[in-house]
Amino acid sequence: MIWTIVGATAATLTMLSFIPQIIRSYRIKHVKDLSPIMLFQLSLGVSLWVAYGFYRRDPIIICANFTTLITLVILIVMHFKFGDAPQRGTLRRFLGKIARKIVK
C-alpha cells in the first residue's frame, strides 16, 4: 500500500512537471530555451512507458506518462508555432562577437 502511494505521488509530480514551462512559453511566446531534439526524444521515451503500462496493465504508469506525453506534445506544437528564431539570431550575433574578438 505504501509503495502505491509513493508511485502515485511520483507519477503526479512527473506528469505536472512541464506545466510551468508551458505557461512560461505561452506568456513569452517562444520556446527558445528548449531543445526540439530533447522534446522528441523524451516524447518517444514517455510513449514507450505508456506502452509498457498497457502491457503491465498498470493505470498509474499509463495515466502519468500519457499526461506527460500530452504536455510534451503541447510544447512541441508551441515550438513549431512560435519557432526559435530569437535563439538563432542571438546565437549568430554571439558567435559574430566571438569571431571579431579572435580576429583582433
What are the cell numbers at 37?
531534439
Which three cell numbers, joined as nine digits, stand for 74?
503541447
4 burial class (0-12, 13-18, 19+ CB within 10 angstroms)?
exposed
Q: For residues 76 and 35, is the Cβ–Cβ distance under 8 A?
A: no
Considering 6-15, 26-35, 61-70, 88-97, the range whose residues carry the highest mean pLDDT is 61-70
Torsion, CA 66, CA 68, CA 74, CA 79, rounded to 10: -130
Domains assigned to the chain: 2-103 (1.20.1280.290)
Report pLDDT digits (tens) over 27-70.
Answer: 888 887 888 889 999 999 999 999 999 999 999 899 999 999 99
